Structure 1
Amino acid sequence: MRNYLLDDIYEEDVKKISAALSELEFQGPIEGIFYLPLPEELLNDEQKEHMGECGPFFMALEVEETSVKVELLVRARNKIRCSCVAYATSEQRNHMMEYIDKFIADLEISY
């Protein structure tokens, strides 16, 4: 699995990240898992075609004790297996990495 990993984060800062993600209602079905929505304009053609049946699309973020890990896989909320579920394109990957970096900086967390 391809991931974007931010580690060596203080425990209290990880809790701050989790609280902020929860406030945005990004929680997944499992504790410590959050779903980061992917803007529609960044979807590839197939994902756009499958929006009604498979979407919305997101990337999963896992919060661990001293780290945050984003899977660089675009997942579909309504289907586990479909050809539209695929590794992020360069544009999708860059967007999500920049989003997470800004999100954490806005919380005044340094890592």
Structure 2
Amino acid sequence: MKQYVIDQLREADFYRLKEHLGQNLETGGMDGIYWVELPADVHSEVQRQHDSCQPYYFALHLDFWQINFELLIRSRKVLHCPCMGYADQRQRDFILQYADRLLEQLDIRA
């Protein structure tokens, strides 16, 4: 799995992230998994054409010592479709900027 990992979180960082993510994002079926909706303006051409698969998401996985930002863009409506796959350049940029803003907003210096 391709992902962007921020590790060596401090205990206080973990609890700030857990509280913030729990209040602002949909949780996944497993502990520590959160879904971030990908904005329509960064959808690929194929994703824009697949109305029935939208919205698209990427997942965050928060562990005690690290947070992982998955680079796999997926729909939660279908399991297999050509509109799902690894983030393109614009989508990767969005995910990295999202990660940077999140850490800055919570004053985390990882």
Please confirm whether the aligned pair reaches a TM-score higher than 0.5, indicating the same fold: yes
Match of 1:83 in 2: 82
5 Å-filtered alignment, 1:95-106, equals 95-106=94-105
TM score, norm. by length of structure 2: 0.94
Give 1:25 deviation, angstroms. 3.1
Paired residue secondary structure (1:31):
coil
Match of 2:6 in 1: 6
Paired residue secondary structure (1:83):
coil
Match of 2:38 in 1: 38
* Aligned AA (2:3): N
Give 1:17 deviation, angstroms. 0.7
Question: What is the number of residues matched between the two proteins?
Answer: 110
* Aligned AA (2:57): F
Q: CA RMSD in A?
A: 1.0
Where structure 1 has 5 or more consecutive residues not aligned to the other structure, the ranges are none
Query: Which deviations, in whole Å up to 9, do the C-alpha atoms of 1:1-40 show, x marking residues without a partner?
Result: 1110000011221121121011113311211000111100
Paired residue secondary structure (1:82):
coil
Give 1:101 deviation, angstroms. 1.0
5 Å-filtered alignment, 1:51-66, equals 51=51, 53-66=52-65
TM score, norm. by length of structure 1: 0.93
Where structure 2 has 5 or more consecutive residues not aligned to the other structure, the ranges are none
* Aligned AA (2:62): V
Match of 1:29 in 2: 29
Q: Which runs of 4+ in 1 moved over 2 A?
A: none
**Is the 2:60–2:70 Cα contact (8 Å) retained in structure 1?**
yes
